Amino acid sequence: MGKSENRLIEKWENLKFRNIPWTVGHQGLKTYFNKFGNVAVATVVFDKDTGLSRNYGFVFYRNKHEFDKAIQTEPHKLEGNVLKVFPELGIDCEDDSLTETFNQAANHLQNLLPNLDNQTLLTLYGYYKQGSHGPCTTPKPSWYEMKAKSKWEAWSKLGDMPQNEAKTIYIETIKKLDPNFATASPTKESWVSVSTLQDDPSTRHTGEKTLVDYVKEEDREQVTNILGCPDGKKIINEVDEDGLGLIHWAADRGSVDILKVLIEGGADVDLQDCDGQTALHYASSCGHLDSVRVLLESGARRDVLDNDGSSPEAVACDGAVKELLANFT
């Protein structure tokens, strides 16, 4: 979209969707919602570590009439999944130019990583998180998660600094590190921006990984060891900055072994995420039949409704999963 068009648009109306099938990408989402009006941008959110869809995304309309039409037309179904809709009115476009440069700076940082020390990376990480998410509201990581704790402190110490100020400082810092940045071309589209503190699993040292990392990687030995520590019982039901607990990540991955370790360690099988969903919702919507069975055998409730009023059976799209949820005794 050109800058002249940006000046004509004060706000975009946008919708957030969950339960997007993992096979649907940006274009598929846009194609579906174009039938309700002219979609400006459609974005599916992908996990930066695995490259897999996180099953939620956003659709932006320039016109409120088209936005209202999309809201009023329900249910929305994509490849058999019923999408859950969350209206998010009024995304400002006034700082599009600053945001675009900010995203380009984040992408350009990847070229500078070999020459930067850890303290500089932490500083940049703090400004990146402040610029992209606003003030830190996530709980302080546990004492043994040293890298996560350092990153949290770099972000938290910025307090209530305005997002645009943080973006500007981030951009200026990148320019100081590489004077050629101003003329550099972005290597990725702006929506592909990633965390500015290198977080590629293949480059992490064992001591830098968190418990969530080990759960995602299905590393049963490491998960068991950490949960065996004195603070294991305290952290097993904590939620991360995405509002998910360890048991949600395990269910999302379909990791039966990790689910069993967590449940044996005292994990709450009915722990709800920021959208009110339990691990049973996750396993059901992803079609992980064995995980659904383990959760049910461990006493997971089938009658828990999420914030949208949906039960685990309602979000399931696999016939075998639906049958198990309906007939389990």
The domain total for the chain is: 3
Q: Is it the case that residue 13 has pLDDT exceeding 90?
A: no
Q: In this structure, what are the phi and psi dihedrals at residue 44, rounded to the nearest 5 degrees?
A: -100, 135
Q: Are residues 151 and 75 in the same domain?
A: no
State mean pLDDT over 104-124: 84
- Domain that residue 21 falls in: 3-92
Q: Are residues 77 and 170 in the same domain?
A: no
What is the predicted pLDDT for the residue at 145? 64
H helix count then E strand count, the chain: 16, 6
Other Cβ atoms less than 10 A from the Cβ of 191: the count is 12
C-alpha span between 152 and 205 (Å, rounded): 19
Q: Are residues 227 and 316 in the same domain?
A: yes
Single residue among 40, 67, 92 that ends a domain in this structure: 92
- pTM for the full predicted model: 0.43
Peptide bond into 230 cis (omega under 30): no
DSSP one-letter code for 140: P
Other Cβ atoms less than 10 A from the Cβ of 8: the count is 8
Higher-pLDDT residue of 263 and 316 is 263
What is the predicted pLDDT for the residue at 51? 67
C-alpha span between 283 and 13 (Å, rounded): 32
Q: Are residues 56 and 106 in the same domain?
A: no
Structure tokens at 132: 């992209």
State mean pLDDT over 60-69: 79
**pLDDT digit string, tens, across residues 184-234:** 444 333 322 223 333 333 333 334 567 888 888 888 988 888 888 877 778
Q: Are residues 316 and 253 in the same domain?
A: yes
Q: Which domain CATH number covers 186?
A: 1.20.80.10
Q: Are residues 111 and 171 in the same domain?
A: yes
Q: Are residues 83 and 101 in the same domain?
A: no
Q: Are residues 232 and 286 in the same domain?
A: yes
Single residue among 92, 118, 143 that ends a domain in this structure: 92
What residues contact 155, with CB distance under 8 A and at least 6 apart?
125, 126, 129, 130, 136
Q: Are residues 88 and 111 in the same domain?
A: no
3-class state of residue 81 by DSSP: strand
Q: Are residues 177 and 250 in the same domain?
A: no
**pLDDT digit string, tens, across residues 218-275:** 889 888 888 888 777 788 998 877 678 999 989 988 899 999 999 999 999 999 988 8
C-alpha span between 235 and 209 (Å, rounded): 15
Q: Are residues 317 and 267 in the same domain?
A: yes
Are the beta carbons of 196 and 112 closer than 8 angstroms?
no
Other Cβ atoms less than 10 A from the Cβ of 96: the count is 16
What is the predicted pLDDT for the residue at 183? 46
For the chain, how long is the longest CA-to-CA vector?
66
C-alpha span between 41 and 43 (Å, rounded): 7
Least confident of 103-117, 138-152, 207-221: 138-152
What is the predicted pLDDT for the residue at 143? 59
Distance of CA 290 to the CA centre of its chain: 25
**For the chain, what percent of residues have pLDDT higher than 70?**
80
Q: Are residues 178 and 111 in the same domain?
A: yes
Q: Which domain CATH number covers 34?
A: 3.30.70.330
**For the chain, what percent of residues have pLDDT higher than 90?**
19
What is the predicted pLDDT for the residue at 47? 66
Q: Is it the case that residue 317 has pLDDT exceeding 80?
A: no
Q: Is it the case that residue 292 has pLDDT exceeding 90?
A: yes
DSSP one-letter code for 277: -
CA dist 74 to 36, 88, 258, 305, Å?
12, 17, 37, 19
Single residue among 57, 92, 127 that ends a domain in this structure: 92
